[in-house]
Amino acid sequence: MIWDRSVETLERSRLQSLQRTRLSWTLHWARERVPFYAERLPDLDRWERHPQELLQELPFTIKSDLRDRYPLGFLAVPRQEVRRFHASSGTRGKPTVVAYTEHDLTMWAEVVARSLAAAGMEPGQVLQNAYGYGLFTGGLGLHQGAERLGVAVIPASGGQTERQVQLITDLGPDGLACTPSYALYIAETMQAMGIAPQDTSLKTGIFGAEPWSDGMRERLEAALGIQAVDIYGLSEITGPGVAMECVEGKAGLHVFEDFFYVEVIDPRTLQPVGPGEVGELVLTTLSKEAMPMIRYRTGDLVSANPEPCVCGRTMTRISRVHGRSDDMLIVRGVNVFPSEIERVILSHPGASGQYQLVWEGHPSRPDLVVEMEAVPGTAAPEGLREHLHAQLGVHLTIRVVEAGAVPRSQGKAVRVVNRMTE
Ligand SMILES: [Zn+2]
C-alpha cells in the first residue's frame, strides 16, 4: 500500500521543483536563526534560483558540530515552541540532543506512516513495537507513525523477551518492529517456550537501527514466517522513517525526498559519487523547523539508485547501510565491515545467524575470530574460512560455539568484542 500516493509517486521533475522551494526555505531559515549557519552560509539572495547548485558549495555539518554546541546550540525556534526532545545514547562519546516542533512531529509521523505502509501494514492492523521507548527515537517514533496510519500499537519497548512472546500470542499483532538481532532472539525464545514462531499472527517485520544482510533477512523470514524489511533513520535528521524499504522490491530503501535531500559523497575527496557507487550518505532536511540540518554527514556508507521501483514509488533508493565509516575493521591491513562478514557467513546454510567477531591475541598482531552458532543438527560449516578469504580478502578464524554461547541482544547487537591480551 502507498500511504501518500500523490507525493510518493510524484514525477521526478515535480519532486525536484518541490525540493527547490523547500531547500530555499530551509537555507534562509537556518541562516537567520542558527548562529552556526549564520556564520557559515553565504548571502543567499543572489542564489535564489538555484538552491541545489548552491547546496553543493556549502560546508558540511558533522556530528562533532552538534556535540560542540551541546545541548541546544542548533535550536532554531524559541524554547516554548519545542514539543519533544530526544537524545543519542552517547555510546560514541558525548550524546547529542535533538528537538522537534509540533510541525516536525507531524512530518515525522507522516514518514513513519508511509514506512509502515511500504512494509505492508494497513490501517486496522496491530504493531508490536519492541524498540526502546525513551530518549531513543525508535520507540516513540514508530509509535506515533503507526497511530497516524491507523494501526494499533503494543508499546512493548525492548527487553523482557518472554513477555514479548506472551504479547504476540495473546494480542496477535500483525507486525513486529525492533532490531533484526532482537527479532532473531524473540524467535529463539518462542521456540524455547514451545511455540512455533512461524505459526504466530506476525506477517511483517520492520527491522533497523543496526546493519543487517539479506542472509539475515532470509533467516528472519523463515524463522518467523514474515516479510522482513529495512527501516533507516537517525535522530539528527528526525529518527526512523528517513528511508524505508518497500516489501514489493526489497532492493534498497526509498528516501522520503520531499522532506530529506540526498547526496552521496566520497568521504575522502568530499565530491559526489555517481549512482550505484558506494559513498557516505549526506542529508539535508527540507521542512524541519526546530533543528534544520544542512549537508549532515551521516557516516553511513550507501549507494543511491534513482531508477523507478516495481512498487511505483519514484523516490530515490539507497542501498542497505554497508556500515558506518567508524565501524570499519582493519584485519592485517585489509579493510572490512562487520556487515560484509555477516553477509558471507550467512550465505552458509549451516549458520544460525548468531555470531560475534572477537579480537584475540596480542595487540601487536591481533586475530579476528568469528564465533558463531550453527543451525542445530547441521555439521560445522565447511569451507567458510576459504570463502571469507575469497570474498573479502581477509583471513579469519572460524570457531563454532555451542547453541546459546553467543550473547543475545535485546537492542542493538554488539558485533565486535575485544579479548586481546597484553
Ligand atoms: Zn519500491
Q: Mapped to the 3 state alphabet, what secondary structure does the chain carry?
A: CCCCHHHHCCCHHHHHHHHHHHHHHHHHHHHHHCHHHHHHCCCCHHHCCCHHHHHCCCCCECHHHHHHCCCCCCCCCCHHHEEEEEECCCCCCCCCEEEEEHHHHHHHHHHHHHHHHHHCCCCCCEEEECCCCCCCHHHHHHHHHHHHHCCEEECCCCCCHHHHHHHHHHHCCCEEEECHHHHHHHHHHHHHCCCCHHHCCCCEEEEECCCCCHHHHHHHHHHHCCEEEEEEEECCCCEEEEEEECCCCCCCEEECCCCEEEEEECCCCCCECCCCCCEEEEEEECCCCCCCCCCEEEEEEECEECCCCCCCCCCCEECCCCEEHHHCEEECCEEECHHHHHHHHCCCCCEEEEEEEEEECCCCCCEEEEEEEECCCCCCCCCHHHHHHHHHCCCCEEEEECCCCCCCCCCCCCCEEECCCC
| pTM of the predicted structure, to 2 decimals | 0.95
Give me the pLDDT at residue 94, please: 78
Cβ < 5 A residues, ion ligand 1: 246, 249, 309, 311, 313
- Domains of the chain (ranges, CATH numbers): 1-324 (3.40.50.12780), 328-418 (3.30.300.30)
The rounded Å distance from CA 1 to ligand 1 centre is 11
Distance (Å, whole) CA 81 – CA 29: 15
Q: Chain centroid to CA 100: how far?
A: 20
The rounded Å distance from CA 309 to ligand 1 centre is 5
pLDDT along the chain (422 residues), means of 10: 97 94 94 96 73 86 95 97 91 85 98 98 98 96 98 97 98 98 97 96 96 95 98 97 98 98 96 96 98 97 95 97 85 91 92 95 93 85 90 93 92 92 84
213 in Cβ contact with 220 (< 8 Å): no
The rounded Å distance from CA 4 to ligand 1 centre is 13
Give me the pLDDT at residue 42, please: 85
Give me the pLDDT at residue 324, please: 82
Helix 180-192 vs helix 161-171: crossing angle, to nearest 10: 80
The rounded Å distance from CA 46 to ligand 1 centre is 38
The rounded Å distance from CA 168 to ligand 1 centre is 28
Cell of 271: 565530491
The rounded Å distance from CA 241 to ligand 1 centre is 14
